[in-house]
Structure formats: C-alpha cells, structure tokens
C-alpha cells in the first residue's frame, strides 16, 4: 500500500496525575519528531487527573498548536483514554505511547520507517524491564504468558507502545464492545505487522500510579473482555472433577463389596474443600462475564469528554517558522 509523501503522525498519550512529567514528555517527544523531520500532532488525554496535569496540557497546547488536549470528565481508565485518543487522532499513522517516558520516544522514527516500508501495525517489544520490582515483573510475565496461552495472541514482552496505520486504526475503532483491551485487540485485528525492540527507561517523574488492585483489575478486564477461555477452563476442570468422582465412587464400591471398611473421613473433607473452592471460583468467573454482559447491555459511552484544547478535530496546524497556521487535512 502506498504511503503519503508527507504523512501526518499522531502520537496519543494517556495522562493521569503526571504533573511535571507532561512538560518533559512534550519537550522530549517533540524534539525527537522534529529531528526526524516528521509532521506530527501530540494528543494528550487527561484521564481525570487530580493534579495540575490538565493546566499543563493547556499551557503546552497554547505554546505549540501541534499539541492537542482532551480532558475526560472523570477517571475512566487507561483503555478508555487510549480509545479517546485514537478516535480524535487524524494522522496517517497513529502511535500510542505512555506519557511517563518509560516508552522511549526515540523509537518512534524507527516505527514510522517500518510503517513506510509496508507494515500496518508496528509493535514495540521489551528488551528489558528497567525499574520494575521483581514481584511486579513476575506477575506481568505470568499474565502475559497466560493470556498468550489462552488466546494465541502473543503478549510476551509486549507493550501498549505501538503504531497503527490509518486502516488498522479504523478497523480497531469499529470494534463495538464496551470493555476493550488495546494490547489484545490491536493484535487481534491482524494486518501486516512487524516488531521493534526497545529498552524500557525509568519513569520521567515520580512513582507509578498503578496499584496492585488496579493491575489485578486490568488483568481480569483484559481476559474477560477479550476471550471466553476462562469459561471453557471451568468446564474442563468440571469434567476433570466428574472423572475423579467416578473413579473414587468405583473404588469405594469395590472396597465395600469386598467387605473392607470405607475409612477416609479426612479424604472426604479434603475433596469437599477442593470442590467447594472450585465451585466458588467458577461462580466468580461466571460473575465476571455477567458483569461484562451487563456493561454491554447498558450501552453507556466508554468515556465522556469534559474539555478540549488545541486545533479543532480535522484540522492540522502548519508551523511556519515561529508562527502557526491551521490547514484543513
């Protein structure tokens, strides 16, 4: 597929309580894109921040019309913020990146080059996990390996840092589900893809805003919104317990016919505990899927926009020296 001679690259970054990090992100990312000679727009999505992130986004947009801001009415979560950015992006290629500078902006020119060479989706994969505690690293690796095994979508060392061509982005936005999982759905849509390896940096400012609870919630939402494999797993384990019950029943009957005593009160208690645990876990899995169905049936919007800053959607500022003008796309 032919590429535009002077493509517009949209860089989407969700922001939540980043504070001083907003200025550093805009400065560093802009410097990288300008040095590469790319025509670009930065779309910063404020996901209900409680600090001064939005005023800083407005200040950056006022200083550079290539910076656009979207303020959500409350904290809808990273997935909704990414979706909002994608829906407001007007570029020929759209890059999703974290605003904390752990994803290196220096990799964007290489990703754009891969897109120019014909790739529709360019995924950044981790070479390292700088600054991530061992427990968090183990949990992330376990989730990615489990997700990959259950869905056949490879998330090992995967990140949300990736580039989508306009056709790939439009295909992703056509997916109708309320609960989305960008890392999974952007792989599910297919399209010609390639990968670039990146080194994860330390956060540009402060500590991570992700708590253990929020990470667990993200993992559960990712699995239940993307695949029904956990439900099938409950069924498989149920058949396993049924087979075990048949074997145990036959053994008990044979011993009774031979006149042997059927001792094993501790065994019975253990079996009841195991089965009870499995039943409760199975009900929990079913409950999560019922919650997903409930969200879809309600049909509420995935996010609400409270404010915008920068050029109107559909217009791209053209920088002429130090003066900014608006040009229709």
The residue ranking higher by pLDDT, 327 or 66, is: 66
Q: Does 81 score more than 60 pLDDT?
A: yes
Helix (H, G, I), strand (E, B) or coil at 316: strand
Give the range with max mean pLDDT: 172-181, 218-227, 235-244, 259-268. Answer: 172-181
Mean pLDDT estimate for the chain: 75
Identify the DSSP state of 185: H
Q: Count CB atoms within 10 A of the CB of residue 208.
A: 14
Contact 317, 324 (CB under 8 A): yes
Q: Count CB atoms within 10 A of the CB of residue 134.
A: 8
State what percent of residues in the chain have pLDDT above 70.
Answer: 67
Which residue matches tokens 């007007």? 90
Contact 45, 72 (CB under 8 A): yes
Q: How many residues does the chain have?
A: 329
Which residue matches tokens 């989706």? 121
Element of type H or E holding 320: strand 315-320
What is the rounded distance in angstroms from the CA atom of residue 228 to the CA atom of residue 234?
A: 10
Give the pLDDT confidence score for residue 204 in this predicted structure. 52
Mean pLDDT of 261-275: 65
The pLDDT confidence band at residue 40, using thresholds 50, 70 and 90, is confident
Q: Which of 31-40, 82-91, 200-209, 215-224 has the lowest mean pLDDT?
A: 200-209
What is the rounded distance in angstroms from the CA atom of residue 216 to the CA atom of residue 222?
A: 10
Give the pLDDT confidence score for residue 92 in this predicted structure. 87
Secondary structure of the chain in HEC code, one letter for each residue: CCCCCCCEEEEEEEECCCCCHHHHHHHHHHHHHHHCCCEEEEEEEECCCCCCHHHHHHHHHHHCCCEEEEEECCCCCHHHHHHHHHHHCCCCEEEECCCCCCCCHHHHHHHHHHHHCCCCEEEEEECCCCCCCHHHHHHHHHHHHHHHHHHCCCCCCEEEEEEEEHHHHHHHHCCCCCCCCHHHHHHHCCCCEEEEEECCCCCCCCCCCCCHHHHHHHHHHHHHHHCCHHHHHHHHHHHHHHHHHHHHHHHHHHHHHCCCCCCCHHHHHHHHHHHHHHHHHHHHHHHHHHHHHHHHHHCCCCCCEEEEECCCCCEEEEEECCEEEEEEC
The angle that helices 134-151 and 212-226 make with each other, rounded to 10 degrees, is 10
Instruction: Write phi, then psi, for 118 (nearest 5 degrees).
Output: 125, -10
Helix (H, G, I), strand (E, B) or coil at 52: coil
User: Torsion angle, CA of 172/173/177/181, rounded to 10 degrees?
Assistant: 50
The pLDDT confidence band at residue 157, using thresholds 50, 70 and 90, is low
Q: What is the DSSP string of 69-92?
A: EEEESS---HHHHHHHHHHH---S
Contact 173, 102 (CB under 8 A): no
Q: Does 66 score more than 70 pLDDT?
A: yes
Q: Does 141 score more than 70 pLDDT?
A: no
User: 9-19 pLDDT, tens per residue?
Assistant: 899 999 888 87
- Statement: 8-208+301-328 belongs to CATH 3.40.50.720: no
What is the rounded distance in angstroms from the CA atom of residue 324 to the CA atom of residue 329?
A: 15
Q: Does 314 score more than 70 pLDDT?
A: no
Give the pLDDT confidence score for residue 325 in this predicted structure. 38
Q: Which of 168-172, 206-210, 238-242 has the lowest mean pLDDT?
A: 206-210
């Amino acid at each position: 597929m032919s590429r535009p001679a002077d493509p517009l690259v949209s860089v989407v970054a969700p922001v939540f309580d980043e504070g001083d990090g907003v200025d550093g992100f805009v400065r560093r990312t802009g410097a990288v894109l300008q040095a590469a000679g790319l025509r670009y727009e930065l779309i910063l999505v404020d996901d209900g921040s409680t600090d001064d992130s939005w005023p800083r986004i407005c200040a950056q947009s006022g200083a550079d019309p290539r910076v656009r801001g979207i303020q959500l009415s409350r904290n809808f979560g990273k997935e909704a913020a990414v979706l909002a950015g994608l829906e407001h992006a007007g570029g020929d290629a759209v890059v999703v990146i974290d605003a904390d500078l752990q994803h290196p902006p220096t990799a964007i020119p290489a990703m754009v080059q891969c897109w120019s060479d014909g790739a529709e989706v360019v995924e950044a994969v981790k070479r390292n996990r700088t600054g991530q505690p061992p427990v968090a690293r183990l949990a992330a690796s376990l989730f990615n390996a489990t997700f990959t095994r259950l869905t056949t979508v490879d998330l090992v060392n995967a990140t949300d840092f990736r580039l989508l061509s306009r056709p790939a982005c439009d295909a992703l936005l056509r997916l109708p589900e309320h609960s989305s999982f960008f890392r999974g759905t952007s792989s599910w849509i297919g399209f010609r893809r390639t990968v670039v390896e990146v080194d994860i940096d330390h956060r540009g400012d402060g500590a991570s805003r992700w708590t253990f609870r929020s990470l667990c919630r993200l993992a559960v939402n990712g699995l239940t919104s993307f695949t029904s494999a956990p439900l099938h797993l409950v069924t498989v384990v149920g058949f396993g317990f049924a087979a075990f019950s048949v074997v145990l029943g036959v053994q008990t009957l044979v011993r009774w016919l031979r006149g042997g005593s059927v001792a094993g009160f501790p065994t019975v208690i253990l079996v009841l505990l195991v089965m009870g645990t499995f039943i409760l876990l199975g009900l929990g899995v079913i409950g999560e899927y019922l919650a997903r169905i409930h969200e879809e049936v309600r049909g509420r919007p995935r996010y609400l926009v409270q404010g915008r800053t920068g050029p109107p959607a559909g217009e791209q500022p053209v920088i002429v020296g130090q003066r900014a003008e608006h040009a229709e796309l």
